[in-house]
Structure 1
């Protein structure tokens, strides 16, 4: 079976462009929530952007690393059922923390 050299070049060009476009979309998808969160953090103390950025990124990546560790450990013990249960448990903890802090704030009168 012979292939046309021009056809092979066109396919590899299309594949390369598809990978580049997919990477660009994934980059925007990942960075957009980070930018929104960082805007909120920067509004806390306007003159301390670098320190706030450091604290934000350390907390963000520490949380991600902890999530990866817990899910990997849970997978080793109970596989998908355990990972799903861990996800629901952490979601419940996040909801409880969010609404308990939200209810403690007194409205400005």
Structure 2
């Protein structure tokens, strides 16, 4: 089969699948929540009417901002954890040497 024809066929198939999804979604009516879980609302603050998708985007930005802040806290804690790991490794090495000395004393 011609590569260009294959692309056209895949595109038609994708459009058909998308159409099936749109029809299936339409059976549930107008959505009240965004995929991220945010609530869809129409708000009028007196000056501007904000579209529901704008509110959803703002909520998504807030969720992502919280996740970034949590990640930054974890990243800031990594050097402290590395220091603790180094201390523990030194203690393990020291205990290994002590155990070897004790074994030598016991079995001589």
Q: TM-score category by the smaller chain?
A: 0.3 to 0.5
TM-score (norm 1): 0.37
TM-score (norm 2): 0.38
Q: Between Structure 1 and Structure 2, whose CA radius of gyration is higher?
A: 2
